[in-house]
Chain A
Amino acid sequence: MKTLFNAALALGLAATPAAAAELTVVTAGDQNMVEYVSEYLGPLFEKENPGAKVRVVGTGPGDAGSQKILERFEAQAKAGSAKWDVDVAVVHEKFAGPMVEAGYLEAYRDKIPSGKLVTRGNADMALGTRVSGYVMPMFNSQTALAYNPNLLANPPKSYAELAEWAKANPKQFGYNGIKGGASGVSFVMGWIYAFGEGDAGKLQNGPFEEAETKKWDKALASLKDFTRHATLTPGNAGTLDLLSRGEIAMGPVWVDMFYSWQADGRLPPDLKLILPEPGMPGQPMHYVVPAKSPNRELAEKFVAMATSPKVQAEGIVKRFNWYPGIDAQHVQAELDDATWNKLFKDITPEDLAKNGKPFPIAPYNNAILEAYERQVSN
């Protein structure tokens, strides 16, 4: 109520700048991301930094959530605001590149102690754009196929087996196309990796060549046929919803979302995950700090804390069962074996190393999506 009256008093006046020690974190992602920052990271940070106060705004799940953060930055840049109203943002990998290219971000990774604990390539390159220094991964997410062992005892272990099984069991496989969220997109990318005639490595690492985009026609034709035998689901959450109702036996999901749904009692506990050959994409969520953050030092401190081995262990792995953002060995050292092994209940570290792929670089990514729009859904 107090802010209400303050704001009412400011009627007609310019926006009151946030108090010096108020740290604003804007996060894309589901409500559990918002709660993670406000209920876990917030109190922890406030205890370590007396006088600071963390407040958090959620912008919604999926690319749409990150897009809104990008647009917010763009609006402030174009309006020429000297100080922005965001200190730390959490965005999907895909949006880190455009933010760096537009010059919205501050390079802070080398300034914080945990910066050295990240060696994985996706902290340096984001879909083909160099983002080294500008981002710290909050966690790594992976798409995989979730299945219901009661309906499907021996799940297909590769895309090739899946194509056969889905044909023999019509409507038992469900995915959300490409317009309803990234789990469907990821399934499509995996399909191109598996059946495209080009080089999957080139799609993931570049360089972009126009000729490469001509090599997917066959794969897309077979995907169109496959989709006819599949159930289309309404969105990432829709796939999980239909899995939980037993209407489909298998479908692509984000591993982090899968565990959250299970923890919140919306998915039967006996559902399982499998990461099929030759692999499906995953992506990190990144912490970024706008160059015009009003509390830059505090923002850096916040990310440093959030990416420290202890917080990654307690917050990301133990609390959510998500894959950590910084290198695994630093996090594993903080945890007992049972907690650590829970991460790999269905998907082993070896599977993950072999079949956990990045998304194609941005130009291929767009070209595949557009080809899908023209050839599969049209």
Chain B
Amino acid sequence: MSKRLLGLILVLPALATITLLFIVPLGASVVGAFEVEGRYGLGNFDKAFALYSQDILFTVVIVSLSTAIIGLVAIAIGGYLTLGENPHAVAVLRWLYRWPLFIPFIVVGQVLRTFLAKNGMMNNTLVSLGILTPLETTSFLDWRGIVIAFVWKQAPFVALLVSGAMASLDRGTIEAARNLGASRLRILIEIVVPQVATTLIVGLVLSFVTMMSVLSVPLMINAQSPTMITADIAFRLNAYRDYGVANALGLISLLITASIAWIYLRHNVRSRA
């Protein structure tokens, strides 16, 4: 049996599952995106860009920014778990960092709304500790709130993946570099991170996709305009029952994600070759 055929047979069940149960139903939606009053055209896309181009840009910026911060936080956590020298501090961190993973997004939205508000729990605590005065408090319920919510929820996800990959690295090179007097930060950046790059980037791509599709966080935290694409899709459907523009926005969202994934995959193929 050729390797190609074997490969296809192994992938087929999983591929068939998502094709039949998601991509086929999606087909009707995709066709709908090009349909305007019974005729085919790009009217829905024109409208989507006319009304929501700011929101599309906003979404890309917010999600990219969050992804970058998530990557840094995850490397920092994973790095300390791998290279940290104090077993107590490592144990505390290991116990600490994973909790947000288990909180569903809708609850993340709720707890951060009451936590980050101007008179929310964070500012109340800071004021009672004397770090802030009531006049200095500000509300974070805008784009910053979305970024905080995304990082809070997704950084543990990537950190879990990355620290797992770091843990299975060969300690030999790390010890050798350490003996030669390399600082831990240098070891992290020059030795550890390059070796877990695939896992890190896979984690970040998955986080990117997840954040693109979350509805509750922008709805519950961000009061301002612009907002995220998912909120616009929900609005098109619930307010106007306008599947055309909603699907056009969905397709735009899909294209953004697919291009990110594509960049990664091209790079990945090149580096494997």
Instruction: Find chain A residues with CB under 8 A from B262 CB.
Output: none
B231: nearest residue on chain A (CB-CB)?
A179
> Is B19 part of the binding interface, using a Cβ–Cβ cutoff of 8 Å?
no
Enumerate 27 A-B pairs (CB-CB under 8 Å) in ascending A order: A67-B237, A67-B238, A67-B241, A98-B241, A178-B235, A179-B231, A179-B235, A180-B223, A185-B239, A232-B225, A234-B222, A234-B223, A235-B220, A235-B223, A237-B220, A238-B113, A238-B220, A238-B223, A242-B117, A245-B117, A245-B118, A246-B119, A247-B117, A366-B239, A366-B240, A377-B225, A378-B225
- Contact digits for A55-99, partner B, Cβ 8 Å, 1 yes 0 no: 000000011100100100000000000000000000000000010
Having A64-B234, A377-B225, A378-B51, one finds 15 other A-B pairs with CB under 8 Å, namely A63-B238, A179-B219, A179-B227, A179-B231, A231-B223, A232-B223, A234-B113, A234-B141, A234-B219, A235-B220, A241-B114, A241-B117, A245-B117, A247-B117, A373-B51
Residue among B117, B224, B227, B238 with the highest chain A CB neighbour number at 10 A: B238
How far apart sit A179 and B228, CA to CA, in the bound complex (Å)?
11
Interface residues of A in 214-265 (CB under 8 A from B): 231-235, 237-238, 241-242, 245-247
> Is A2 part of the binding interface, using a Cβ–Cβ cutoff of 8 Å?
no
Establish whether residues B234 and A177, one from each chain, have CB atoms under 8 Å apart when the complex forms.
no
> Is B120 part of the binding interface, using a Cβ–Cβ cutoff of 8 Å?
yes
> Is B139 part of the binding interface, using a Cβ–Cβ cutoff of 8 Å?
yes
- Contact digits for B203-225, partner A, Cβ 8 Å, 1 yes 0 no: 00000000000000001111111
Given A179-B232, A247-B139, A369-B119 contact (CB < 8 Å): no
How far apart sit A330 and B54, CA to CA, in the bound complex (Å)?
52
> Is A374 part of the binding interface, using a Cβ–Cβ cutoff of 8 Å?
yes
> Is A176 part of the binding interface, using a Cβ–Cβ cutoff of 8 Å?
yes
A374: nearest residue on chain B (CB-CB)?
B51
Interface residues of A in 167-214 (CB under 8 A from B): 176-180, 185
- Contact digits for A341-378, partner B, Cβ 8 Å, 1 yes 0 no: 00000000000000000000000001001100110011
Interface residues of A in 123-149 (CB under 8 A from B): none
Establish whether residues A62 and B238, one from each chain, have CB atoms under 8 Å apart when the complex forms.
yes
Instruction: Find chain A residues with CB under 8 A from B113 CB.
Output: 234, 238, 241
Per DSSP, chain A at the interface is: helix
Establish whether residues B239 and A176, one from each chain, have CB atoms under 8 Å apart when the complex forms.
no
Given A179-B232, A232-B225, A234-B141, A63-B239 contact (CB < 8 Å): yes
How far apart sit A176 and B220, CA to CA, in the bound complex (Å)?
11
B235: nearest residue on chain A (CB-CB)?
A179
Chain B residues engaging chain A, CB cutoff 8 angstroms: 51, 54, 113-114, 117-120, 139, 141, 219-225, 227, 231-232, 234-235, 237-241
How far apart sit A287 and B235, CA to CA, in the bound complex (Å)?
24
Residue among A185, A231, A234, A238 with the highest chain B CB neighbour number at 10 A: A234
B142: nearest residue on chain A (CB-CB)?
A232
Instruction: Find chain B residues with CB under 8 A from A232 CB.
Output: 223-225
How far apart sit A55 and B59, CA to CA, in the bound complex (Å)?
40
Establish whether residues B223 and A369, one from each chain, have CB atoms under 8 Å apart when the complex forms.
no
How far apart sit A67 and B220, CA to CA, in the bound complex (Å)?
19
Instruction: Find chain B residues with CB under 8 A from A234 CB.
Output: 113, 141, 219-223
A237: nearest residue on chain B (CB-CB)?
B220
Instruction: Find chain B residues with CB under 8 A from A370 CB.
Output: 51, 240
Given A234-B113, A234-B221, A247-B241 contact (CB < 8 Å): no
Establish whether residues B219 and A235, one from each chain, have CB atoms under 8 Å apart when the complex forms.
yes
Q: Determine how close the nearest CB of chain B comes to the CB of A131; give it in whole angstroms.
A: 16
Interface residues of A in 17-48 (CB under 8 A from B): none
How far apart sit A283 and B249, CA to CA, in the bound complex (Å)?
30
A95: nearest residue on chain B (CB-CB)?
B241
Instruction: Find chain A residues with CB under 8 A from B119 CB.
Output: 245-247
How far apart sit A340 and B224, CA to CA, in the bound complex (Å)?
40
Instruction: Find chain B residues with CB under 8 A from A178 CB.
Output: 235, 239
A63: nearest residue on chain B (CB-CB)?
B238
Given A67-B238, A369-B239, A373-B51, A176-B120 contact (CB < 8 Å): no
Instruction: Find chain B residues with CB under 8 A from A177 CB.
Output: 223, 225
Establish whether residues B239 and A233, one from each chain, have CB atoms under 8 Å apart when the complex forms.
no
Instruction: Find chain A residues with CB under 8 A from B237 CB.
Output: 67
How far apart sit A369 and B141, CA to CA, in the bound complex (Å)?
24
Given A64-B238, A238-B113, A378-B54, A233-B223 contact (CB < 8 Å): yes
Instruction: Find chain B residues with CB under 8 A from A373 CB.
Output: 51
Instruction: Find chain A residues with CB under 8 A from B238 CB.
Output: 62-64, 67
A239: nearest residue on chain B (CB-CB)?
B223
How far apart sit A126 and B227, CA to CA, in the bound complex (Å)?
30
Q: Determine how close the nearest CB of chain B comes to the CB of A180; give it in whole angstroms.
A: 6
How far apart sit A67 and B224, CA to CA, in the bound complex (Å)?
24
Establish whether residues B240 and A369, one from each chain, have CB atoms under 8 Å apart when the complex forms.
yes
B117: nearest residue on chain A (CB-CB)?
A245
Instruction: Find chain A residues with CB under 8 A from B240 CB.
Output: 366, 369-370
A245: nearest residue on chain B (CB-CB)?
B119
Residue among A62, A237, A241 with the highest chain B CB neighbour number at 10 A: A241
